[in-house]
Structure 1
Amino acid sequence: MHLKRKYGDRSDWNRVLEREYAQSYLETDLFKGYVSLLKIAKVKEPLYVKYFDQNICLVNDGYIWLQQFPLGKQHSVTTMFDERGQIVQWYIDICSMNGVSEDNVPWMDDLYLDIVVLPSGEVIQKDSEELDEALLHGTIDQFLYNLARQEVNLINSLIKDGSFTLLQLSEEHKDMLLQKIQK
């Protein structure tokens, strides 16, 4: 089985022409794991997605992507900030595991399912059919399929009752990593 591994530095992302990057390992009462920050200075072209009837820009000059990789968890959260520092969305990837590469870059192995949380509070479920296809084609086994479904249910219930702390920590983690870049 081969899952898509996504790295915090997004070094393979050709859309981004100029960038700054910082990361840290954190161990606090609320979070244990890696956080990475991609400060996007210049892009080839902006990236838009359509949710319902609105087009939302996810990447453009001046945008910041913060990624949180909690150790021992089956998810990773990317918070996308616009050029004014306003949150555009939280993108929660369900993954089989988070880790760190030999050259110390955090990564996660993507399990297809995603949850988008908009600042308005709207929650969007994504890619359920991709998870089903991965099981059907043998890309993942029943264990990983069940793991993904259980994790998405857990996170949805945490979001619903306001206790998914990574959403609340995103501003704090962004500010901390921005200080590393600006030094």
Structure 2
Amino acid sequence: MKRKVFDLRLWPRVARGTHTVTYIPGFVIVDFTAYEVVNTKDVPFGERTIRILDQGYRWVRVHPTGGGEGVMGDSLTVMLNPSGGPEQLYVDIHAGEGLGEDGLPWHDDLYLDVIADWQPGWRVTETHVIDADELEEAVRAGGVTPELAEAAWTHARKVEEELRAGTYGPLGVLRRYLEDPYT
């Protein structure tokens, strides 16, 4: 597994952006807006390709703080276009989470991610589990046990179900933050 810190301030794709961190009970929210982009980012989503990074795009990360090391969990990032419209929801599946000394969230990546669309009314209508090949490679290389890989798949499927049912908790936290970022 690879420990990842959510910090886009020195991202080579972005020459200039802003970064704020907000702490609310049970979560830390990292809000990053890219103003000057060196390299845009387009990704596959089902049968189409979507842009998730360009001038004025905003990435908002909702990261739980209650899990700790060795605890299966997930963290949500939404990519918003310059008009504030959602382009993609992205959920990292992980095997541990926390906050670093700098106050930024980290997680022990389990490679699987769940991507979703987001329609008016905060409805998710399409989801995909991605990066299964990376998880399989980590199992082959001995970095992830087969049991942990199976648990990651179970968790990813649960996240998909909750997103489609409208019961995924971090999405509610994100909604409240986007509607009133100062609470």
- TM-score norm. by structure 1 comes to 0.85
- Residue 36 of structure 1: SS of its match in structure 2? strand
More contact order relative to length (CA 8 Å, sep ≥ 6): 1
- Residue 61 of structure 1: SS of its match in structure 2? coil
What displacement does 1:157 show?
2.3
Partner Cα distance (1:175, 1:6) in 2: 28
Deviations 1:30-65 (A, max 9, x none): xx1211111111110211112244221100111110
Corresponding residue for residue 11 of structure 2: 13
Partner Cα distance (2:172, 2:179) in 1: 13
Percent identity for Structure 1 against Structure 2: 27
- Residue 176 of structure 2: SS of its match in structure 1? helix
For residue 90 of structure 2, what is the amino acid of its counterpart? Y
- Residue 69 of structure 1: SS of its match in structure 2? strand
Partner Cα distance (1:141, 1:35) in 2: 31
Pair 175,159 (structure 1): closer, same or farther in 2 beyond 3 Å: closer
For residue 90 of structure 1, what is the amino acid of its counterpart? L
Count of equivalent residues: 173
Partner Cα distance (2:170, 2:79) in 1: 13
Corresponding residue for residue 60 of structure 1: 54
Q: Which blocks of at least 5 consecutive residues in structure 1 are unaligned?
A: none
Partner Cα distance (2:83, 2:126) in 1: 21
What does residue range 131-170 of structure 1 map to in structure 2 within 5 Å?
Answer: 131-170=135-174
Corresponding residue for residue 41 of structure 2: 47
Could you tell me whether the CA contact under 8 Å between 2:76 and 2:89 is conserved in 1? yes
Partner Cα distance (2:96, 2:16) in 1: 29
C-alpha RMSD of matched pairs (Å): 2.0
Q: Which blocks of at least 5 consecutive residues in structure 2 are unaligned?
A: 120-124
Partner Cα distance (1:147, 1:173) in 2: 30
- TM-score norm. by structure 2 comes to 0.85
